[in-house]
Amino acid sequence: MDGGSPLDPQELAAIRAAIQESSDGSFTPPPIDEEVHPLALIADDRAAQQARPASTKIATRWARLISRPLRHLIGFEPEIHVMPADTIDGASLRDDMLTMWHETVSPDGRPGSALVGVRGSMIEALAARLLGGGKEEAMEDRAPSATALRLFSPVGRMLADGLRDAWAQEQQCEVATLRDPVRIELAERALTDADVVIKVGLALRGEVTGNLVCVAKPETFVAPPTPVEAVPAPPGAIEDALGAVEVELRVAFGSARLTMHQLENLAVGSVIPLGQFIDDPLEIECAGVVKGHGRAVVHRGVLGVEVVDPAVGRRNAA
């Protein structure tokens, strides 16, 4: 259509109908799925933040402890890199366990256990060396055979013992290897069913390659705080430290409830009964806590409260 020509009557009618439909409330929005899918919030994120540096320190000490035994085993200085601690889910750990040699350890006094695993071509390569064979061709993608895993077990236990010693030295705790099949199954199931676990480990590079990992829940890696022994204060220390602090005392002489009509009729000379006898004990409060009881007196021309509660220890005028 030309730039200055008016709209076609049919087009104008269609636009007006669309505006009317949107303004009269007849527009029906598409249905919304009422099923709520909450975000996967990490409830123990604070524990995970504490566990990352703690587990990295353990792995760094682990690398130092196993360096010499590995050198004697493989015949050369191993190139060991500490892998940064990472947060994973338990389901991915379940898949990794199918392709690794693993053992379960339990730190004393910690919730849960930890899984120590070895994966990579080093399993079959070292298994072949134990059989007297030559150098094995590195095949990272191939899962180790059951025979290779069985032959590798002494080496794996040596590496797991290094992790136990590193953990014990770093956090001053006992770390034991689980041997009971039932406890091992329960510990592994707790890890694979967990929403969040921490994985830290070592990467071996060179003629023999592989990964050594330690996986546990965040709270298992975090050392409990050292208990502080409570030492009683010497006599008079608290009084010397807090004796000059000013506090406010409040004494309630009573209360009354009036109707709005009675309140409006109050005038000079009206008497409001407080519902309390003259000799009833009065509560003496400090910071909302009752510290004693007293009775109303006139002291040197001003209204006062004489402490009469035996818990106070002596009679004293307030």
pLDDT in tens, 12-21: 666 666 666 5
Range of the domain at 85: 45-221
The verdict on residue 33 lying in a domain is: no
- Identify whether residues 76 and 199 lie together within a single domain: yes
Kindly tell me if the per-residue pLDDT of 43 is higher than 50. no
User: Residue 18: what are its φ and ψ, rounded to 5°?
Assistant: -65, -40
The verdict on residue 7 lying in a domain is: no
Arithmetic mean of pLDDT, 94-105 = 89
Kindly tell me if the per-residue pLDDT of 28 is higher than 50. yes
The structural domain count of the chain equals: 2
Kindly tell me if the per-residue pLDDT of 152 is higher than 80. yes
For residue 102, list its beta bridge partners.
Answer: 117
Q: Identify which has the larger pLDDT, 178 or 309.
A: 178
Which of 60-74 are b and which e, b meaning 16 or more Cβ less than 10 Å from the residue's Cβ?
A: ebbbebbeeebeebb
- Identify whether residues 155 and 297 lie together within a single domain: no
- Identify whether residues 300 and 180 lie together within a single domain: no
- Identify whether residues 203 and 254 lie together within a single domain: no
Arithmetic mean of pLDDT, 202-226 = 88
Contact 307, 292 (CB under 8 A): yes
Average pLDDT, the chain: 81
The verdict on residue 231 lying in a domain is: no
The verdict on residue 11 lying in a domain is: no
Token pair 């009679």 in the structure block, residue? 315
- Identify whether residues 258 and 201 lie together within a single domain: no
- Identify whether residues 214 and 303 lie together within a single domain: no
Rounded Cα–Cα distance for residues 63 and 112 (Å): 24
Res 300: pLDDT: 83
- Identify whether residues 207 and 259 lie together within a single domain: no
In the chain, % of residues over pLDDT 70: 80
- Identify whether residues 203 and 256 lie together within a single domain: no
The verdict on residue 17 lying in a domain is: no
Res 42: pLDDT: 46
* Alpha carbon 46 to its chain's center: 4
